[in-house]
Chains A and B, each alone.
Chain A
Amino acid sequence: MKRLLPYIAVAFFASVPLWLQDQYFLHTLVVTGIFVIAAMSLNLLLGYTGQLSLGHVAFFGIGAYVSALTSLGFSVEIFGLQITHEPWPAVIGVLFGTIVAGLCGYVIGKLAFRVRGAYFVIVTISFAEVVRLVSLNWVELTNGPLALPGIPPLTLGFEWTGYATLWGKAQNYYVVLATIVLAYILIKRLVNSPYGRAMIALRENETLAVSVGISVTKYLVLAAVLSGAMAGVAGGLYAHYIQIIDPMIFMFLNTVTMVIMVITGGKGTLAGPLVGGLIFGIAPVVLRSYVGPEVQWILYGLLMILIVFVLPQGIVPAIERWFTRKGGSASASKPAGLVLESSKGARS
C-alpha cells in the first residue's frame, strides 16, 4: 500500500483538470504546486543538511527574474558599457534562471557554511534582502517597483513535434505536476545515495561524519547549489505562468511560507513538503471567505508555534508512526522523520 501511494497520488492529481470546474481553484493549485517545488528545494537544505536558510526566496526570485529577463530581453548600461540582450525562448529562460540560482547557491554556500547556526540564518536573510533591494533599485534592468509585465508563457516542443504555447491553466498545471514528480524522484535518489547520506550524516553528527571521510564543505555547498537551482526552476515557472513579476516576490513572508510548509509537513522527509505545501497552498483559498489576510497570517503563525510544541517533527512522520503502531511493528518507537528512507530496505 505504502509503495503504491505515490502512484495513486500522481494519478489523482493528474486527473484534477479533467473534472475540476472551478478555474480559480485550478489556478490556486498551479501556484501551490510551484511553491511545493520551492518547499522541496528548501527541504533539501533545512531537512537533510539541517541548515535553516531564511533567504530561500532569493533563489526563487532570482530564477523568476533571470528567466523573465532572458525571455523579454533587456538593455542596460554597466560602467559605460551598453549591454543589450534580444529575447530568447521562455524555456531557455527557465534554464538560465535555474543555472544562475544554482550559482548563487554555490556562492552563498561557500560563504555561509564557514559560519553556521545563527550566522547562517542571518547571512541568508541578508542575501535575500540585498537581492530584493537590487531588484527594487536597478530600475533600468528590472523596472523596479513598476514590475516586469508581459513575460511570455512557456513554449514546449521541438521542430519535429510542433510547438505548444502554455496559455491555459491546465497546461501549466501539468508542467508543474511533471516538475514536482521529477524533483521528487531526484531528491529521493539523492537521499538514498552516498551524497544524501553524507548530508544527513553531517546534520546528525558533524565530527563523526568528518571522521569517516565526509567533507563538510563539499556536501553542504552541493546541497546549497541543488537547493538554489531547484528553487530557481520554481521561480522560472512562476514568472512564465503569472507573466508579471515585481520586487514583492522577494518578500520575507514568501520564505516564511516555504519554511512553514516544510516544518508542518515534516522536514527531512520526502513527502513532508508536498503535504505541507498542499495544506498551506490551499488554506488561504478556503480561509479567504471567512477571514482577512491578517487573521490568516495570525493563524499560520499560531499554527507554526503549535506544530513546534505538538508535532515537532511534522505531520508526515506523525502519520507514519501512527501507521506503524497500528501495524504492531517492533520499530514503532523510531522517530520516522530522522531515519533514512533506505533503512526499510535493510532487510533485503
Chain B
Amino acid sequence: MTVAATGAPRPILAIEHVAVHFGGLIAISDMNFVVNEGELVSLIGPNGAGKTTAFNVITGFLKPTKGQVTFKGQSLNGLKPHEVTSLGLVRTFQRTSVFEKISVFDNVLIGLHRRTSASLFGTIFGLPRERRQEKALREEAWEILRLVGIEHQADELGGSLPYGDQRLLGVALALAANPSALLLDEPVSGMNASETGRFVALLNKLRANGKTILLVEHDMPMVMGISDRIVVLNYGRIIANGTPKEIQNDPDVIQAYLGQGVKHA
C-alpha cells in the first residue's frame, strides 16, 4: 500500500534521545522513534502527553534539552524553523493554521515562498525571468488548491472559510512549501464526519504521491484506519510503537487511555 512497503524501509526522520524540560517539569523524556520514507506514522497519547512539544522540537520551534533530531541524515540541532522547512520538513498548526486576513489564493502563494528564486533586482525591474516565475507560481497555486479541493474558494479570506476548509487550507499552505515529510498537528480535530472523510481521502492522495506523514491526532478510528505505524506517548515517554493492530492490543496503551477515560477507541 505504501511506497516504503515495496523495499527495505529507509528512515527519513529520526528522533534520538530527545528530552525537553521546562524548568523542573519534564515534558518529554528520552524519546526515540524513526519515521521511514513514505510511511504514515501517528503520534497519539492522552492530553499533555507531549505530542505538540515533540512537534515543536522536530520543527525547530523549541530547542530540546537533550538529544537530537535528524532529517535525511542531517542533524536539525540549532536550525531555525524556516531552515528546517527549507530542508523539506514542513508542519501545520493546531490553532493558527491559515493567514486569516489574506485570500485563500494568496495564502497558497505565500506557502510557495520556497519555490522561487526570483532576485530582488529582477523583481523590481520586472525582468522576464521573474515574470515567468510569478506566472508559474500562480499555476502551481491553482494546482495545490485543486489537489486539496478548495479551488472554488480561492477569493475568500482565509479566516472566512468553514472550519474544515481552513484545516485543508492549512495543509495546502504546508504542501506549497514542497515538503518531503509533512507533520500534521491534529488536522481533523473539530471536523464533522464528512469533513474528516474528505481529509482522509486527501491524506491517501498525498501518500500516493510519496509524501511521508507524521500525524498527531485524537480521532482514534481515523488513526487506526490510516496509519502504518503508531507511536504512543504518555507523560512524555513512549509507551508503545507498532502497527495499529499491535497498539490496540497493547496493555500499557489500554491502561493509559482507560486511566484518562477513552473518548473514541
Q: A: which residues have CB within 8 A of B?
A: 186, 189-190, 192-195, 197-198, 200-201, 204-205, 207-216, 222, 331, 333-335, 338-340, 342-343, 345-348
Pick the contact of A214 from B82, B90, B102 — CB < 8 Å? B82
> Which of B59, B82, B106, B155 is in CB contact (< 8 Å) with A215?
B82
> Is residue B98 contacting chain A, with contact meaning CB distance below 8 A?
yes
A194 with B118: CB separation less than 8 A: yes
Binds A, one of B34-42, B108-116, B206-214: B108-116
From known contacts A193-B118, A346-B106, A346-B154, infer whether A213 and B82 are also in contact, taking CB-CB under 8 Å.
Answer: yes
Contacting pair B106 A208 (CB below 8 A): no
What chain A residues lie within 8 Å of B82 (beta carbons)?
Answer: 210-211, 213-216
CA distance A346 to B123 in the complex (A): 19
Residues of A within 8 A of B177 (CB): 211-213
Pairwise interchain contact A208-B103, C-beta atoms closer than 8 A: no
Chain B, 198-253, CB within 8 A of any chain A CB: none
B154 to A334, Cβ gap below 8 A?
Answer: no
Measured between beta carbons, the chain B residues less than 8 angstroms from A201 are: 99, 102, 110, 113
Report the minimum CB–CB distance from A165 to chain B (whole Å): 29
Contacting pair A347 B155 (CB below 8 A): yes
Q: Map CB proximity to A onto B103-140 as digits: 1 under 8 Å, 0 otherwise.
A: 10110011111101010100110100010001001100
- A190 to B130: give the CA distance in the assembly, Å: 11
Across-interface contacts of A331 in B (CB, < 8 A) = 155
Q: Select which of B96, B120, B157 is within 8 A of A195 by beta carbon.
A: B120
CB–CB A195/B85 < 8 A: no
Q: Is B174 an interface residue (CB 8 A)?
A: yes
Cα A324 to Cα B108 in complex, Å, equals 24
Q: Are B85 and A212 in contact (CB under 8 A)?
A: yes
Are B102 and A340 interface neighbours, CB within 8 A?
Answer: yes
A212 B113 Cβ-Cβ under 8 A: yes
A256 to B103, CA, bound (A): 32
Q: Is the CB of B109 within 8 A of A204?
A: no
Chain A residue contacts of B92, Cβ below 8 A: 211
25 contacts between A and B (CB under 8 A): A189-B126, A192-B134, A194-B137, A198-B110, A200-B110, A201-B99, A208-B96, A209-B110, A211-B59, A211-B82, A212-B85, A212-B111, A212-B113, A212-B176, A213-B86, A213-B90, A213-B177, A222-B120, A339-B103, A340-B103, A340-B106, A343-B102, A343-B103, A347-B154, A347-B155
